[in-house]
């Protein structure tokens, strides 16, 4: 028996009921795995980008959807937002430490997928 070590209920991490519709963790998973959330996290994995750079890096996303996706990812603590007081304002986005932790498995997933695709499906850049 370990002497002097007591674990109280207050020290235990919160348990999330991920199958409950009001679960905070479920909401974050929904945002990360949304149609555009995953692409935003992957686009920001190497460096911070300005809004227009991010929009250009994700083919097919509208400004409205990018704005909405960024808003929820910022609220979830996955993405940081910095506004430079210029005219017009320049807004830069990047991954927080939490965002990098979540983005790493996504990058690994996409690397595995692309490694196993037949050559005719790989982009020719």
The pLDDT tens digits for 38-82 are 999 999 999 999 999 999 999 999 999 999 999 999 999 999 999
Average pLDDT over residues 9-32: 74
pLDDT, averaged across the chain? 85
User: What is the mean predicted confidence (pLDDT) over 89-98?
Assistant: 96
Query: Can you tell me the distance from the alpha carbon of 43 to that of 110, in angstroms, rounded to the nearest whole number?
Result: 12
Q: What is the mean pLDDT of residues 82-107?
A: 93
Give the separation between CA 31 and CA 34, rounded to whole angstroms: 5
**32 C-beta neighbours (distance < 10 Å), count:** 19
Q: What is the pTM of this model?
A: 0.75
> Can you tell me the distance from the alpha carbon of 74 to that of 37, in angstroms, rounded to the nearest whole number?
11
Sketch out the chain's domains with CATH numbers. 24-112 (1.10.10.10)
Q: Cα separation of 29 and 39, whole Å?
A: 14
DSSP states of 43-78 = HTSSS-EEHHHHHHHSTT--HHHHHHHHHHHHHTTS
Q: How far is CA 76 from CA 71, 87, 96, in A?
A: 9, 28, 10
């Amino acid at each position: 028996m370990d002497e002097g070590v007591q674990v109280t209920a207050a020290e235990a991490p919160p348990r999330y009921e991920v199958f409950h519709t009001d679960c905070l963790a479920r909401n974050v998973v929904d945002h990360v795995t949304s149609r555009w959330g995953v692409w935003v996290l992957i686009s920001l994995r190497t460096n911070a980008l300005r809004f227009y750079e991010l929009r250009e890096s994700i083919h097919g996303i509208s400004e409205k959807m990018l704005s909405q996706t960024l808003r929820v990812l910022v609220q979830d603590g996955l993405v940081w937002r910095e506004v430079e007081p210029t005219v017009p304002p320049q807004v830069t986005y990047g991954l927080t430490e939490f965002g990098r932790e979540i983005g790493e498995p996504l990058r690994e997933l996409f690397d595995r997928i692309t490694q196993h695709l037949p050559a005719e499906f790989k982009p020719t850049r």
